[in-house]
Amino acid sequence: MQEETFADFKHQSLTDSLTGLKNRRYSELIFIDLIESNQLFSLIMIDIDHFKLVNDEFGHTAGDEVLKFLANKMKSITKDNDVCIRLGGEEFIILLPNCILPDAYKIAEKLRKDIEISIPPINKKITISSGVAEYRDGSESINDLMNRVDEALYMAKSEGRNKTVIFS
């Protein structure tokens, strides 16, 4: 009984309660594992375009439904060993172990196109922008990787949104 309670608390502490995805705390732990095992991985950072307008026009409850909608789309296009994470707000990442950059880009584009043609719970189309980067085997910190993928995401937004950009 006590072990089940501990396991439940641990699960809750590593899971985003709204979307059911892993959370930022979990991402920090998995990054450490991947780096220590010197494993190749890629990262997709995702942001819902103009999300503030969704909340302003439809309310925060509808905004929450849009976040859950995106989380489900992310889970539907990823494999079992991929990790979908809600960083906070409308920012998400997909961590792709053993995935090279061109394949990560294809996954990001598949998600972007799926979102673009889908009808979310607010009955008004939404789009996402994504940045993609590959971990540079041991020569950079997680902060460096996060900065690179964040810069790619910023480029996607500054180039008109509804776009995927690879950090080069």
Active site residue 91: no
Residue 70 identity:
L
The label of the residue with tokens 């849009």 reads: 66
For residues 17 and 76, the answer to whether their CB atoms sit within 8 Å is: no
Catalytic-labelled residue, pool 65, 90, 134, 140:
90
Q: Cα separation of 70 and 63, whole Å?
A: 11
What span, in angstroms and rounded, lies between the C-alpha atoms of 150 and 140? 15
How far is residue 103 from each of residues 10, 106, 124, 134, 141, measured CA to CA in Å? Answer: 32, 5, 30, 10, 22
CA nearest neighbour of 135 among 47, 44, 46, 74: 44
3-class secondary-structure state, position 88: strand
Residues annotated as part of the active site:
90
